[in-house]
Structure 1
Amino acid sequence: MAQKDFAGDKKYYRVLKILNSLNEKGSVRVAELAAEYDVSERSIQRDMERINMTFGLEQTGKGEYAFAAGVSLQELRLSGEQLSALIFMNELFKGMGGAFSKSFEGLFHRLAKSSPWESPYSIIMPRPGKGLDLAKLIPDAETAILEHRKIRVDYLKKGVLTNRTLSPLKILVDNGFYYILAMSDKKGQYVKYRLDNIKTLELTTQTFTPPADIEKAIRDATSVWGAMPARDRKIAMRLKIAPAAADFFRKKEFFPLQKITKENPDGSIILESRLAQLMEAIPTILNWIPDIEVLEPAELKTGIRARVEQYLQKISPLKTAG
C-alpha cells in the first residue's frame, strides 16, 4: 500500500496526481490507481469521469484510460474563456488555503504554460487568513454530498463547540467564504454552516434523500443568505439607485429576482426584488450608501437606519473629561 501524503486518498489531490500520470505515462489503470491511493475502484472511476468531462479520455483497454487523440497537457491551447475559468478556479482553491492552493497552481502552470499572474486575467477575491486550511474537510464533504450521506461535525458557534449531524446538500462559496448548505430539521428549510468553523468532519453510513427544489433555491440566490426555497421569497423590496450607481445595477443582478421598474429623467432608477430574509439585501445596501435608498419594506428601512446610526455613534468625537 502506498504511503499517504497530503491526505493522498482525498479527491482533489488524487485527481491532480492522476492528471499528471496520464500526462507522463500515457495511460493509467483503474485497479492500479485504486491500490495506490487505497480507495475503491468505483472512486477512481468517478475521478476518471470528472477528468473526461474537462479534458477528454478514451478507454484503451479494460479498466485502462488515456487522453483522447489530440489531447495533451503540453499541447493544450486554452481559449480566453477557458483561461478565465481556470483563473477563477485557481482563486477558489487559494481560498481553501493549505496544500490545495499549491497543487492547483502547479496544475495551472502546466495547463496554461504560465503562472496566473502572467495571464491577462485576474480575479479579485478575499484571501484566506494565515493558518486557514480547508483541504482536510472539502473531500469528505463532497463525498457526502455526492453520495447523500450524513456527516457528524464538531461546529464552533459563538465560542461554543457542539456536535451535530448534518445532511449536506451543497458547498457554497460566497465572498471568499465556504459554507455547507444542509437540510434543516424543519421540512423544506435549509441551514448554512461556515466550513472554517467546522473543526472535525466524519462521514457516516446514514443516507438521506435531498429535496427536489435545491437547484432552483441556489440558482435564484445572489448571496449565501438567499439559498432558500422560492416559496420563502415573500419580502417585496423597492430601492432607488442614484445616477452615480445606476449603471452598475443595470448590468448586474445584486439582488434575487431583481428587475428595474422605472428609469427616472435624472438617471436614477427604481429597482424591485423579492427576498427570503432581509440579510440578503442589507450587506449590499450598506456597501452602496449613499447612492442607494430603501423605499420599502419599512422594516428594512428601519434596520439600515439603525445600523448607520450605530456606526455614527461609534465614530463621534469623544467628549473631553471635565
Structure 2
Amino acid sequence: MKQYNADTNQSHDKALLRNLSILYKLMLGNIMTPQDLADEYSVSLRTIQRDIKRLREIIPIKKEANFISLEYYDINHIHRKYIADFAVFNGLRSLYPQLDNEIPNIINRETQVAYMIKNQAFEDTTQQYDKFDTIRIAILEHNFLSFCYKNKTRKVKPYKLINIQGIWYLLADENNTLKHFVLTKISNDEICEEKFQIRKDIVEEIAKSNLKWFSNKTFMVKLHIANEAREYFMRKEILANKTIISEGKHGIIVSTQIAFEDEILNLVKAWIPYIQILAPHSLRDKLHTILQEYLAQNI
C-alpha cells in the first residue's frame, strides 16, 4: 500500500487556503498580477497560474494585460457564496460548525493562526495537472477518452473524477460497464473526436455513491472494534454503510459491505490490536497469513 507523508497533507492544506485567500482578494475587487501572488505566497508562477485556472471554473475572472480581476463583484452578495461553494466542493462542509460564518476567519491571514487542520493522507497529484485537464475536458464535452491502463489500451466514456479517501479515480463506461481507473496509473491519455450520449442510469448510479462502481460484487464483513478505537470509528465515516450489530463491555460488533478485501485488510492492519475480523473466515485467515509472513521476515 502506498504511503503518504505529512508533507503531502501540509501541501494540500496550504494549497486550499491559498486558493481561498486568492478568491477572497478577487471578491474584494483587488486587481493583481500572477507574479505578485506568487511572491506573496512564496510559490512558483506556474503554481499560481494553476490556481487561477481552477478558480476560473467557478468565478468570472478576467485578464487584461498581465492583471487579473473579477468581471464583476458585489462583496455583500457574491463573495461568500463563491467561497462557500469552493469550500464545499473541497470537502469542508462538515469540517466547521457553521461554514458560512467561519469563511472570513479561514481566509484571513491574521485569524488563520487560530486553526490547524490535519487531513487524512492525500495522494500527491501535483504532477498530474495535464492529465486532470484532459480528462475534465473529455467529461464536460462528452468525448470518448483513450489511454493506457495496466498495459492495455482503453477507450471509454468518461463520467466523473472522484476522490475516495485521498485517492483520485476516473469513473467511466467501458463496453457498457461502469468501471473505475486509478488516475495515477493512467498514461498516454488523449481526447477522441468521437462523442457519446450520456446515460441517465449511470449518472444516477454515480450520484448514489454506490460501491458497484468498484466491483460488480460486494460482500459483508463483520468486525469487532475495541473500546479504544470505538469513539474514533463512531465519530468518523471510516466504514461505509456500517451497521452496529451489538454492543458489549469490551467493544462493538459492526457489519459493512465492501468491494475489495484490501479495503478491510489495510484498515485492520493499521488498527491492530483494536480491530478483529469476525467474518468471513477466509478474510480473517488471509490476514493471519499476512501477519505471520511479516513476522517471519522481521524476527
Query: Per the shorter chain, which TM-score range?
Result: 0.5 to 0.7
Distance 2:292 2:231 in 1: 28
Map 1:190-201 → 2, pairs under 5 A = 190-192=179-181, 194-201=182-189
Q: CA deviation at 1:184?
A: 3.3
- Could you say if the C-alpha distance between residues 169 and 282 of structure 1 is closer, same or farther in structure 2, counting changes exceeding 3 Å? farther
Per-residue CA shift, 1:208-229, capped at 9, x if unaligned?
33452455556546xxxx4537
- Paired residue for 1:245? 229
Map 1:262-273 → 2, pairs under 5 A = 262-264=246-248, 266-273=249-256
Distance 1:163 1:229 in 2: 20
- Could you say if the C-alpha distance between residues 210 and 310 of structure 1 is closer, same or farther in structure 2, counting changes exceeding 3 Å? farther
1:112 maps to a residue whose letter is: I
Distance 1:272 1:171 in 2: 29
State whether structure 2 residue 174 is matched by structure 1 residue 184: yes
Map 1:105-144 → 2, pairs under 5 A = 112-114=107-109, 118=113, 120-126=115-121, 132-144=126-138
- Could you say if the C-alpha distance between residues 176 and 283 of structure 1 is closer, same or farther in structure 2, counting changes exceeding 3 Å? same
Map 1:1-322 → 2, pairs under 5 A = 20=26, 23-24=29-30, 50-51=58-59, 66-68=72-74, 70-71=76-77, 112-114=107-109, 118=113, 120-126=115-121, 132-155=126-149, 157=150, 160=151, 162-185=152-175, 187-192=176-181, 194-208=182-196, 209-210=198-199, 212-217=201-206, 219-220=208-209, 226=211, 228=213, 232-233=217-218, 235-264=219-248, 266-316=249-299
**Which sections of structure 1, spanning at least 5 residues, go unmatched?**
1-12, 26-46, 56-63, 90-107, 317-322
Q: CA deviation at 1:287?
A: 1.5
2:243 maps to a residue whose letter is: K
Aligned length: 235
2:141 maps to a residue whose letter is: E
Q: CA deviation at 1:115?
A: 8.7
State the identity %.
19
Q: CA deviation at 1:20?
A: 4.8
- Could you say if the C-alpha distance between residues 245 and 22 of structure 1 is closer, same or farther in structure 2, counting changes exceeding 3 Å? closer
**Which sections of structure 2, spanning at least 5 residues, go unmatched?**
1-18, 32-54, 62-69, 93-102
The 3-state SS of whatever aligns with 1:280 is helix
Q: CA deviation at 1:65?
A: 5.2
Verify the 8 A CA contact 1:237 1:273 in the aligned structure 2: yes
Q: CA deviation at 1:272?
A: 0.9
TM-score, length of structure 2 as denominator length: 0.62
Distance 1:299 1:149 in 2: 43
Distance 1:171 1:263 in 2: 38
Verify the 8 A CA contact 1:87 1:121 in the aligned structure 2: no
Verify the 8 A CA contact 2:226 2:250 in the aligned structure 1: yes
Verify the 8 A CA contact 2:147 2:190 in the aligned structure 1: yes
RMSD of aligned alpha carbons = 4.2
Distance 1:244 1:288 in 2: 10
Distance 2:111 2:162 in 1: 24
The 3-state SS of whatever aligns with 2:115 is coil
Q: CA deviation at 1:291?
A: 0.9
1:202 maps to a residue whose letter is: E
